[in-house]
Structure 1
Amino acid sequence: MSLTTNVDVFKPPRRGYYWSYYIITSSQELESALAQTYPVVLMFWASWNEPCRVMMRPFRAMAVAKRWAAIFCQVDVDKFKDIVERYRVEALPTFLLLKQGVEKGRVVGAKVADLRTIIMANI
């Protein structure tokens, strides 16, 4: 099952649904996610990057644990160069926590504890 959704459907999953994160497929989807009242956690990643692959399981676990309180999204850096530049992503993986479009936290690298700390402090 694909985890991507329509542009206007960025809501926490209904009870009984267990998707954990959205895979951003267009700039409009990202803008729709950022327009929601929920905090948004962005994971900038690339399939060829080993630290990104290492962080997939912890990211997914945190997304499942906090799926009622935040929107978790993956952004492929090879497909969205404009978004990468907009958020000044210089290393992979990079995680951003945004509340109402304002950056509240950033973790660069495969740092599970730092990511968990930022998520717990802001969600």
Structure 2
Amino acid sequence: MAHITEITPQNFDSLLKEDLPVLIDFWAPWCGPCRTLSPIVDELAGELEGKLIVAKCNVDENQDIAMKYGVMSIPTLVMLKAGNEAMRTVGAMPKARLAAEIEKAL
């Protein structure tokens, strides 16, 4: 299984300095669509290991980070390349569609 980083205020800045793109899954434990999307993100993290870093950001615990990226509804996935937004999706979606969005942004 791929390594997925749990975002905290302490590790967030170092994530942005990574050479690989970073895919951030903004979620919350009480969010039904987030629970639907989470296993899909986990699968894609394994399939795309070495191409990108996957991180999860609990919006309840990291409101400042969510606000910084303008996350208004969850689940929201944001891909950052060199600290700049390269892709954003909002809402749950089938694995094939999400994989296509990610591949397009890589």
Q: TM-score w.r.t. structure 2 length? A: 0.92
Partner of residue 36, structure 2: 54
The CA RMSD measured in Å over matched residues stands at: 1.2
Percent identity between matched residues is: 32
Asked if structure 1 preserves the Cα contact closer than 8 Å seen for 2:2 and 2:42, the reply is no
Q: Pick 1 or 2: higher relative contact order, CA cutoff 8 A, min separation 6.
A: 2
Summarize the alignment of residues 1-123 of structure 1 with structure 2, pairs less than 5 Å apart. 18-24=1-7, 26-112=8-94, 113-123=96-106
Long gaps (5+) in structure 1? 1-17
State the aligned residue count: 105
**Mapped contact 1:95–1:115 kept (Cα < 8 A):** no
Q: CA deviation at 1:122?
A: 2.3
Larger Cα-atom Rg? 1
| 1:20 CA displacement | 3.2
Please state which structure has a larger fraction of its residues in strand: 2
Runs of 4+ that moved beyond 4 A: none
AA aligned to 1:119 is: I
- TM-score scaled by length of structure 1: 0.80
